[in-house]
Amino acid sequence: MKSKAVFYHAGCPVCIAAEQNIAIALDPERFDVEIVHLGDAKHRVAGAEAEGVRSVPALVIDGVAYHINFGADITALR
Amino acid sequence: MKSKAVFYHAGCPVCIAAEQNIAIALDPERFDVEIVHLGDAKHRVAGAEAEGVRSVPALVIDGVAYHINFGADITALR
């Protein structure tokens, strides 16, 4: 069974770079990667925060948040 | 041809978690992943800094550094 990975971003340049180089780099045999733009999908912000996301871009793998560089604080996206 | 990815860490708990969940998650069909423990391999610190690594754990893909969460400042590893 594949693991679930969610890449949260907000369309910022730092986010796009991370998306194109990290999110896309995950092994498709092992991960279902969902890309979520929190600027567009505001209803996903609370869920991201509950998973531990404090800033974007962030990658959540199996429920654990990894912050990749720093684009924007999630409080700016609520 | 595979891309080169280098995961720099220092053995800290944050580093180990990132290694086991991010570095290991990269697609082996597209990436040759090298794991470098900067605490053991001090001669690699200068090169990591030249690639833009400011803290560990960090993943460098095709020469671009991505800092994943925060374990230790690289200046503490010189």
Chain A contact probe: residue of B21, B26, B51, B70 with most A CBs at under 10 A: B21
Taking contacts as CB-CB distances below 8 angstroms, the residues of chain A near B4 are: none
Indicate whether this complex's ipTM tops 0.85: yes
Give the closest-approach CA distance of A3 to chain B in angstroms.
10
Using alpha carbons, list the distances in angstroms from residue A5 to A18, A51, B44: 14, 12, 31
pLDDT tens-place string over residues B54-76: 999 999 998 999 999 999 999 99
What is the secondary structure of A32-72 as a DSSP string? EEEEEETTT-GGGHHHHHHTT--EEEEEEETTEEEEEEEEE
pLDDT tens-place string over residues A23-76: 999 999 999 999 999 999 999 999 999 999 999 999 999 899 999 999 999 999
Chain B contact probe: residue of A29, A68, A70 with most B CBs at under 10 A: A68
